[in-house]
Amino acid sequence: MGLEIERKFLVCPELLGELQYGESICQGYIPTQDKTAVRIRLKGSAAFLTLKGANRGAVRSEFEYAIPVSDAQAILAELCSGPKIEKTRYCRTVGAHVWEIDVFAGSNEGLVVAEIELNSEHEPFEKPPWVAREVTGDARYYNTSLLTKPYLTW
Amino acid sequence: MGLEIERKFLVCPELLGELQYGESICQGYIPTQDKTAVRIRLKGSAAFLTLKGANRGAVRSEFEYAIPVSDAQAILAELCSGPKIEKTRYCRTVGAHVWEIDVFAGSNEGLVVAEIELNSEHEPFEKPPWVAREVTGDARYYNTSLLTKPYLTW
């Protein structure tokens, strides 16, 4: 259990240079009535079931559990009827922090975002040159929004 | 992961005799848009996060994971805004099967149901004298229904 404190930025892909060691992610959601997210994620050779509360600025509660990959595949097929988010995640260390760079595919092709996890909402961090406009709290960039309004339709 | 094949019956409490070694259960749900249930259950000194698909007769898919009790308490408080189901569960072996007898409390006080888990929908089983009318598939007796339309309001 914990609080997830995360800031999200758009990326200038042409300044990124070569990306290495990406992990493919496929994730779906069980449709909820409120802003709670119930996410099932296949990531490389692992799988996770995650509950996330509503965003409060850069902060949201998060509960994540590793589950068998075969379970995740069955849950995605049986219980997540909607479209899925497909992306490749790359990690890059800058100063004291690790940035997660998500390169979206499928109906969100062309979108590249970078996220940094912090210990407090106003923790300082080094901003690399390939990081552009901040989109923390911009609901259009939530993965759950990208399911229903994918980037290619903007 | 698995399929849950379960039949549910009303109980004649006066024929039950003494119930022993009950475990108290408190469970809540993350409100979903469809018939998928996302359940958080505190049971005795353990806790579980469970995803269940829609019922197809006595059959539904079920994915259950043990989680830390402190997580379950936080999820119930933060993400399950609605009322909770409170009940005490007793187990009784009859022939080759274990019956789970749920004695509801709170706003479902007075309701007692017994469930039997089977390996196939038409597996034969011994019906003890305290088992009354079958209510498998009767949506009023789903725990999710008992949250919004509790037994005391029927």
The answer to whether A148 faces chain B, any CB pair under 8 Å, is no
How many angstroms separate the CA atoms of B154 and B140, rounded? 10
Positive/negative CA dihedral, B116, B122, B126, B127 = positive
Residues of B in contact with A68 (CB under 8 A): 1
> Are the beta carbons of B1 and A33 separated by less than 8 Å?
no
Decide if pLDDT at B1 tops 70. no
What's the pLDDT at A35? 87
Catalytic pick from B29, B90, B142, B151? B29
The answer to whether B51 faces chain A, any CB pair under 8 Å, is yes
What's the pLDDT at A10? 97
Classify strands B37-43 and B112-117 as parallel, antiparallel or unpaired.
unpaired
Domain with A85 in it: 2-153
Q: Give me the interface pTM, i.e. the ipTM.
A: 0.88
Query: What average pLDDT score do residues A67-89 get?
Result: 94
Query: What average pLDDT score do residues B15-44 get?
Result: 94
How many angstroms separate the CA atoms of A91 and A94, rounded? 10
> Are the beta carbons of A78 and B61 separated by less than 8 Å?
yes
Higher pLDDT residue, A102 or B121? A102
Mutation test of the interface with chain B: which of A35, A36, A55, choosing the one with the most B Cβ atoms within 10 A?
A36
pTM beyond 0.80: the answer is yes
Residue A29: active-site member: yes
Here the tokens at position A39 are: 């996410």
pLDDT confidence band for B12 (50 / 70 / 90): very high
pLDDT confidence band for B9 (50 / 70 / 90): very high
Which range is least confidently modeled, A4-8, A52-56, A137-141, B97-101? A52-56
What's the pLDDT at B73? 96
pLDDT confidence band for B59 (50 / 70 / 90): confident
Give yes or no for a contact between A117 and A6, defined as CB atoms under 8 angstroms apart. yes
DSSP letter at B145? H
> Are the beta carbons of B30 and A31 separated by less than 8 Å?
no
Helices (H), A22-112: 69-78
According to DSSP, the residues that pair with A42 across neighbouring strands are A26, A47
How many angstroms separate the CA atoms of A27 and B141, rounded? 33
The answer to whether B96 faces chain A, any CB pair under 8 Å, is no
Decide if pLDDT at A1 tops 60. no
> Are the beta carbons of B1 and A74 separated by less than 8 Å?
yes
Residues of B in contact with A75 (CB under 8 A): 1, 51, 63
Taking residue B43's Cβ as centre, other Cβ atoms within 10 Å add up to: 15
CB-defined contacts A:B, below 8 A:
71
What does pLDDT average to over chain B? 93
| Number of domain units in chain A | 1
The answer to whether B2 faces chain A, any CB pair under 8 Å, is no
How many angstroms separate the CA atoms of B35 and B137, rounded? 13
Decide if pLDDT at B65 tops 60. yes
The answer to whether B135 faces chain A, any CB pair under 8 Å, is no
Residue B61's H or E segment, with its range, is strand B59-66
How do residues A16-62 score in pLDDT, each as one tens digit?
A: 999 989 999 999 999 999 889 999 999 999 999 999 998 888 888 99
How do residues B90-108 score in pLDDT, each as one tens digit?
A: 999 999 999 999 999 999 9
What's the pLDDT at A57? 80
pLDDT confidence band for B146 (50 / 70 / 90): very high
Q: Name which of A1, A68, A79 is nearest B36 (Cβ-Cβ).
A: A79
What's the pLDDT at A107? 96
What's the pLDDT at B74? 95
Residue B115: CATH number of its domain: 2.40.320.10
What's the pLDDT at A81? 78
